[in-house]
Structure 1
Amino acid sequence: MEDLSEIYKSYANEVKRFLLCLTSSEDLAEELTQETFYQAVISIHRYNGECKISVWLCQIAKHSYYDYLKKAKHRNHTSIDYLTQNGVDIRSNEDLPDIAMMKESRLRVIHQEIRQLKEPYAEIFLLRTTLDLSYKVIGDIFEKSENWARVTYYRAKCKLAERVGLDEL
């Protein structure tokens, strides 16, 4: 087993990105990243090597987030400000102001609809589209099969397309 500080250096950013995808809050993602590694240190004896360390850490992160939700009894919603801060360019220099406003409005609607999807659809859709995780990794995080992740993502995509009135996402 690698030294714990090396594990932190190697995987902290990946875990934080995963949590950022779930929480839509930089501060909360940072806090839960710390909690994840604290829980990992406490339970390091349970890591059996059957999955990648990153998958094991993301499972802990997911459970830390769910614990947070149980305690907080609310969800943070993604704002358009969050999207622009994190590299989603909703206004290119080529767009006229009216077109940019329409893009922003459409993006806001789509993101609100993503958050309205039942779990695990929203989470899987965001993991796949935001973090570009493979179906295998998503399946491992949920302790399900790769095929389950693939089918669930497809269903989420169909539900979202139906909700926002698009033919296909």
Structure 2
Amino acid sequence: MDEMSFQQVYQTHNDAIYQYIFYLIQHRELAEDLTQETFYRAYKQFDTFREEADVKTWIKRIARNLVYDHFRRKQIVKFIPFVNTDDRVEKDTPSDILERGEAVANLYEALKELKLPYRETLVLRKIDGLSIKESADFLGCSEKQVTNNTARALKALQKIYEERGYTYVTEL
């Protein structure tokens, strides 16, 4: 693959990779830096990559490894927002905005209780919209494990919501 095709890959996937990293670390500047580092590493290895159909997964794996390296270096755990910004309705009423803001705040608080593998599975399945098979391939685990982690994560999230008196959104 040549430089021009890498530029096309960058333009096509930059926003999705940034959003994925941001969901994992919740820090804009760091997400920007890690996105840049992801594409830098991808560019350095791009001539060895052969399967164009799977380029997004390949780049997302690089991003995931960078995020995990960051967590290991800093020995910190950050939490993932579980809101797909693409689903926002443009003509919200003020009460809709307030309700969504409260729901998002509740979700942030509840997600702090989930294990990282559960949060990551929810991001891949519910935010990125990957299938069970795609999620399993990406995570390097079985489809059964993805299914179990998704179910357990949603059950744990529901329990946290109930304990805190939040309204649980069943569409997650």
Compute the TM-score of the two structures, normalised by the length of structure 2: 0.74
Do the aligned partners of 2:121 and 2:150 also contact (CA within 8 Å) in 1? yes
Matched positions, count = 162
* Residue in structure 2 matched with residue 93 of structure 1 by the alignment: 93
Rounded Cα–Cα distance in structure 2 between residues aligned with 1:15 and 1:139 = 18
Where does structure 1 lack aligned partners over 5 or more consecutive residues? none
Equivalent pair of 2:136/2:142 in contact (CA under 8 Å): yes
Give the distance between the partners of 1:95 and 1:148, measured in 2 at CA. 39
Q: Aligned equivalents of 1:56 and 1:86: distance in 2?
A: 23
- How far the C-alpha of 1:118 sits from its partner, in A, is 0.8
Alpha-carbon distance between aligned partners in 2 of 1:76 and 1:67, rounded to the nearest angstrom: 13
1:93 is aligned with what amino acid?
A: T
> Is residue 79–residue 111 contact of structure 2 (8 Å, CA) maintained in 1?
no
RMSD of aligned residue pairs (Cα, Å)? 3.4
Q: CA deviation at 1:104?
A: 4.0
- Tell me, yes or no, if the aligned pair for 1:113 and 1:164 is still in contact at 8 Å: yes
Could you tell me which of 37, 40, 48 is aligned with 2:39? Answer: 37
29-38 vs 140-149, greater mean Cα deviation:
140-149
1:35-55 deviation digits (Å, cap 9, x = unpaired)? 111222333365353971111
Task: Give % identity.
Answer: 23
| Range with greater deviation from structure 2 (35-44 or 52-61) | 35-44
1:16 positional shift = 1.3
User: SS in structure 2 opposite 1:95?
Assistant: helix
Identify the range of structure 1 (16-25 vs 124-133) with the bigger mean alpha-carbon deviation: 124-133
For residue 122 of structure 2, what is the aligned residue in structure 1? 125
Contact 1:17 1:131 in 2 (8 A): no
Q: TM-score, normalised by structure 1?
A: 0.75
Is the contact between residue 40 and residue 57 of structure 1 (CA under 8 Å) also seen in structure 2?
yes
1:58-108 per-residue CA deviation (whole Å, 9 max, x = no partner) reads 1110000111112233344568xxx6x88757xx526399xx46x644532
